[in-house]
Structure 1
Amino acid sequence: MEIIESVQNQKIKQIAKLHNRKDRKKMNQFLIEGEHLVEEALNSQVDIEMILTVNADKLTEAMVASSKQQYEITFKVAEKLSQTESPQGIYAVCNMKDMNDIVMNRVIYLDRIQDPGNVGTIIRTADAAGLDAVIMAKGTVDIYNDKVLRSSQGSVFHIPVVEMDFAEVKEKFEGTIYGTSLDSARDYKEITPADKFMIVLGNEGQGVNNDILSATDENLYVPIHGRAESLNVAVCAGILMYHFVK
């Protein structure tokens, strides 16, 4: 197995570009870090271009069989590729999957949510709750952002996550659309959820876009019984998703 020792190596420079959203889209690839995420990618049949590891002993037969190339790297190179404070020493370059035909009976729509931890947690919860897909508006943090991948704990490989304008989703979706808002909305516990539903969650500071709220079938809120000003959007998402899939 070839060893890459220099951070100036052209292959490493090219892989490091995957830290940027623009380059990920251009190359149609993304980078994952850590043994858990690499294992999840393998188990989910993600198309893996290459695996790079500081410790060659960590390369399993499954990793070799499921990736096109494997490289041993130095810790310096690992630091160059890592986006965490403590590099985990194993990385995979993955090819993005085509997501044209997805089931959309029970979905969640994210309108311009900015915090990658929130988005990753919502994806993980949607996976746990058994939803069909997570759909993201333009302006929402990138699916393949390192923090989104890590906070999703591999769920991003289990459930389709796609970027789509609301107008396009509304045209394709055949169920009931529920927005989330504090104005002119009903307590979520008052409704009987439809079998086919879409829950729309909005930006942490501004909420759901008013144009979207005016195009929903019904708008809901999760009541606050204490003195908190608002609920975290990922917590709100979890409450609603589990209520809807009962």
Structure 2
Amino acid sequence: MLITSQTNAKVVAWSKLKQTKHQRQAKQFIIEEKLLIKEAVKANLNCTIIAVVDSDIKADYYVSDAIMKKISTNESLNEVIAVCDFYDIKAENSNKIVYLDNVQDPGNVGTIIRSAYAFGYDQVVLANNSVNKYNHKLIHAAKGAMFHISIVDEINLEDCLNKGYEIFVTALDKKAIDIKHINKKNKMVVVFGNEGSGVSEPVLKLATEKVYIEMNNFDSLNVAVSAGIVLHHFK
């Protein structure tokens, strides 16, 4: 179907999906890269495909360049985008969990999700005001991994302790142990904190063990870099 008017009801609704509140109201989000759209379709997400009029891509709707720019977050013109319904992936097992405590940069969170999926983790928790999983920068950074791993907003860490999980918290703390001396466990939650303030005190108090990465010259790393190292160690 061809849409030519920028005031078309669908165009107006799609253009609002750049904002979190409208995403939540519509329970939809936008994907803007061909590779990511393929991953979403492969993962059986319910998506509406929208392409520019001169595209060879099979789409549900075709629109002008002006309309495509209106509904896109990219400055450059997309040939195709997808409007997809919110989705949930249930973890078959939840033995290896990544817990993000108020991690707000979407690029960092997307990269951590990608690492978690690559290294065989079961679930990622975006807790305590961590960024919305449907943020377009997060989607870009995750490179499709988010369509194949369970992502939830919260879990009860005290319940995890009661169920026998080890909770490893990354922290610059005198009592922290070099990660190379810690072995992976059958049931574990690995916690990473806010880019500036680190892991919050309530979460720190629940740690089974505080861990750190030995470094030369610096005492800290970007949270996504730290997560990649730690998650690979425990994979």
Whether TM-score is above 0.5 comes out as yes
Alpha-carbon separation, structure 1, partners of 2:61 and 2:188? 45
The one-letter code matched in structure 2 to 1:104 is S
Q: Offset at 1:223?
A: 1.9
Check 1:111–1:215 CA distance in 2 against 1; reply closer, same or farther (3 A cut): same
Query: Aligned residues, how many?
Result: 233
> What is the aligned partner in structure 2 of residue 36 from structure 1?
35
Q: Offset at 1:168?
A: 7.1
Check 1:23–1:167 CA distance in 2 against 1; reply closer, same or farther (3 A cut): farther
**TM-score (ref. length: structure 2):** 0.93
Deviations 1:128-153 (A, max 9, x none): 11111111103111100000001111
> What is the aligned partner in structure 2 of residue 67 from structure 1?
none
Identity %: 37
2:49 is equivalent to residue 51 of structure 1 = yes
Alpha-carbon separation, structure 1, partners of 2:144 and 2:164? 29
> What is the aligned partner in structure 2 of residue 218 from structure 1?
209
> What is the aligned partner in structure 2 of residue 116 from structure 1?
106
RMSD value, Cα? 1.8
**TM-score (ref. length: structure 1):** 0.89
Deviations 1:73-127 (A, max 9, x none): 1111111111122132211111112346653101100111111110110011111
> What is the aligned partner in structure 1 of residue 199 from structure 2?
208
The one-letter code matched in structure 1 to 2:35 is H
Alpha-carbon separation, structure 2, partners of 1:165 and 1:18? 27
> What is the aligned partner in structure 1 of residue 168 from structure 2?
178
Q: Is the 8 A contact 1:32 1:91 kept in 2?
A: yes
Check 1:173–1:146 CA distance in 2 against 1; reply closer, same or farther (3 A cut): farther
Q: Is the 8 A contact 1:179 1:219 kept in 2?
A: yes
Equivalent runs, 1:85-100 vs 2, <5 Å: 85-99=75-89
Q: Offset at 1:7?
A: 2.1
Gaps of 5+ in 2: none
